[in-house]
Structure 1
Amino acid sequence: MKTWKRTSAVAAVAIMASAALAACGDAPEKSADKKSDFLPCILSDAGGFDDKSFNQLSYEGVKDAAKELNSDYKEFESKNENDYAPALDQFVNQGCDAIVTVGFALSAATVESAKANPDIEYILIDDAADNDFDGKKDADNIKPILYDTAQAAFLAGYAAADYTKTGVVGTYGGQPFPTVTIFMDGFKQGVDYYAKEKGKSVKLVGWEGNDKGVFTGGFDANEKATNTAKQILDQNADVILPVGGPIYQGALTAIKDSGKDVAMIGVDADFYETDPTTRDLIFTSILKNMKTSTIEAVVAAGNDKFDPEAYIGTLENDGVGIAPFHNFESKISPDLQGELDTVKAGIIDGSIPVSSYLTK
């Protein structure tokens, strides 16, 4: 019995010493495992988080940022514009520390909420938070995240002009917001640049510039989206660029109904990856690196390093770009990729100017 007691006492001392060492040596690991009380929240526009486009990318960015910060997050998927203000009020009442709002349609509601809650940090995707159009942000606690997609769309326009067999390419949008028409502007400039450089005639239908173009009037994948795409295809376009989240689904239907050999260009995300049903038709996609920029903004806020200055994604900082040609790789000119690399370098160094509402 005495031996057992002595052994037990020694073991007890060893356990206490081990516990003391663990308290010192393992403290950082335990601290790292501790749940953060920082709470990021994200509000979609009416397109929803499964739009295969900018809502989805931003949502994935918030989820990954929350994982990196070891925090929870909250989400609200809007059904229509009437959801925006109430959802933001709900986020405020739930104690959100950073609120991500996705899309230009949420700009006014975001500004109003930000002004009423200066201690909350807001991250507005795809809008400058300048509802007064005076060139200044309307609330100091908003970080606008913007993308000069005209630069990437220029490359897509150049590629489409090189690929077309009919000599006609087309585009249409949801509504004539700057973040929609910026794609169409860049696409037109790329088509025009190709035609001038190559001395070839390539016609663009659906967009003349200066807000003159074809639009569905919304961002739903409805009959209007299909009929609008058919309108473009009926003008002999064999490459089509739908700009406006889910409206591309109308183009898919129109292409299949036409029985023609038509290639489609995606926007925001690489549609080949986000929507496998497009793989036989997707030529390339005009990319916004929204997921990465959202992660960076949310993580900075979670680490008390929130920077309210606007971020603008460009070709130079990899904020925008175009996706691979995937199944069309064997169908494009063998010289096209090299030419695109040269054009991209020219856009970056300024020798090939690309104008957009962000550069005016």
Structure 2
Amino acid sequence: MNKAFKVSLVMVLALVMILTGCGNNKNNAAKNEASSNKGNAGTQTEASKGENAAKPKIGLVTDVGGVNDKSFNQSAWEALEALKAENKVDDKYLQSTSNSDYIPNLNQFVQGGYDLTWSIGFDLGDATKQVAAANPNAKLAIIDNVVEAPNVESVTFAENEGSFLVGVVAGLTTKTNKVAFIGGADSPVIKRFEVGFKAGVAAANPKATVKITYAGGYDKPDVGKSLASQLYDDGADIIFPAAGQTGNGVFNEAISRNKAGGANKLWVIGVDKDQSLEFGNDVTLTSMMKRVDVAVKNVTQQIIDGTFKGGQVTNLTLKDDGVGLPEKNPNLSQEVLDKVEEFKQKIVSGEVTVPAE
């Protein structure tokens, strides 16, 4: 073997060894990087799981009025959305289009492992009781009805007391001495609105009359508009609808008539929320606030804190600020506001008892 060939062979062998070493280093680096990424991915996944586990899942089932009823369903959903914005819960709603939707909608949340399922509205009482009995480990809560079950918390309101106060407003404001009430469905809850309103009008203005009518549902704005048209034609200048989405039609009729002009200014009294925020102060005389949002937030907070007990009934009254007028009432004179406050204190003290049925 000549000398030149030996030198070339040595150089080739050295080059092979260098390339092999580089390849091994690259492979090892790739393996180490993959291992590192895998470990990081695992850590992130566990952290994400921890975050999700820390936030309870809350489900809400509406009655047929729907989640955008500008009334109590919407108020309940906004309370959950506020908690979600604070990163305290994950929430979802299911909208019922008929009574037959109640049980399937409730079951969807309960069987989906939600930490709390809300029933919004008196009409969901029987469905809630049935679902609670079939799922004793589930936690449920209901607005406007009492379900006697160890895993259900019930929240009701003294609607009659708050309605008495807006009745006082109507009695002192009417120019025609004719006011009206439109109910949604004829139920104990809506009856409390009706009789409280009538009592307040009578206490403030014995000369005023109150015409009572019912729309037959909470999802009938066209019916609400038609009924309002008849009542305004009959001389009423203030209408108090306690009818969910049906009441939106009352507002629309009053707005239309006020734009057209007339002998008397026409008013609507809002319900559940401060409805001047939706329809404006030009038509909203005041509103009978029903703090469904506070009730939903308080009970949901029990789930967050781990203090939910079930089997409890809470009735929110005028004394608890569970019902009443909005903080701002630009359409009411100081004289009217003073009279409202006078009656409020008499109700809270027990001097005045407001009928409930």
Question: How high is the TM-score relative to the length of structure 2?
Answer: 0.80
* Cα contact 2:268–2:284 (8 A) shared by 1: yes
Within a 5 Å distance, the mapping from 1:83-232 to structure 2 comes to 83-129=101-147, 137=148, 139-195=149-205, 200-206=206-212, 214-232=213-231
Q: Gaps spanning 5+ residues in structure 2: where?
A: 1-46
CA distance in 2, matches of 1:147, 1:222: 25
Partner residue of 2:316? 313
Q: Partner of 1:293 in structure 2?
A: 295
Cα distance in structure 2, aligned partners of 1:171 and 1:287? 16
* Structure 1: distance between partners of 2:354 and 2:301: 32
Return the offset for 1:86.
1.1
215-224 vs 146-155, which deviates more? Answer: 215-224
Superposed CA offset, 1:128-160 (max 9, x none): 22xxxxxxx2x2211111110111110100111
Residue 64 (structure 1) aligned to one of 76, 82, 86: 82
5 Å-filtered alignment, 1:222-261, equals 222-258=221-257, 259-260=261-262, 261=265
Q: CA–CA distance in 1 between the matches of 2:193 and 2:280?
A: 20
Partner in structure 1 of residue 61 of structure 2: 43
> Displacement of 1:74 after TM fit?
2.5
Q: 1: distance between equivalents of 2:208 and 2:329?
A: 24
Q: 1:322-333 alignment to 2 at 5 Å?
A: 322-324=325-327, 326-329=329-332, 332=333
1:67 Cα deviation from its structure 2 partner = 4.9
Post-superposition offset of 1:301:
2.2
Measured after TM superposition, the shift of residue 325 of structure 1 is: 5.8
Question: Rg larger in 1 or in 2?
Answer: 2
SS in 2 for 1:356: coil
Q: Distance in 1 between matches of 2:256 and 2:91?
A: 42
Among candidates 284, 287, 291, match of residue 286 of structure 2: 284
Following the alignment from structure 1 to structure 2, what is the Cα–Cα distance between the partners of residues 238 and 146?
31
1:282 partner amino acid:
T
Cα distance 1:326–1:337, how it changes in 2: closer, same or farther (>3 A)? closer
**Partners of 1:53 and 1:145 in 2: CA distance:** 17
Q: Secondary structure at the match of 2:321?
A: coil
Shift of 1:79: 2.2
More helix by share: 2
TM-score by length of 1: 0.79
* Count of equivalent residues: 303
Structure 1 residue 66, shift from structure 2 partner: 4.4
CA contact (8 A) 1:121 1:301 kept: no
1:37 CA displacement: 5.0
Aligned partner of residue 245 in structure 1, secondary structure: coil
What is the match of residue 73 of structure 1? 91
Cα distance in structure 1, aligned partners of 2:224 and 2:356: 25
| C-alpha deviation, 1:111, in angstroms | 0.7
Unaligned runs of 5+ residues in structure 1 are 1-29, 130-136, 207-213
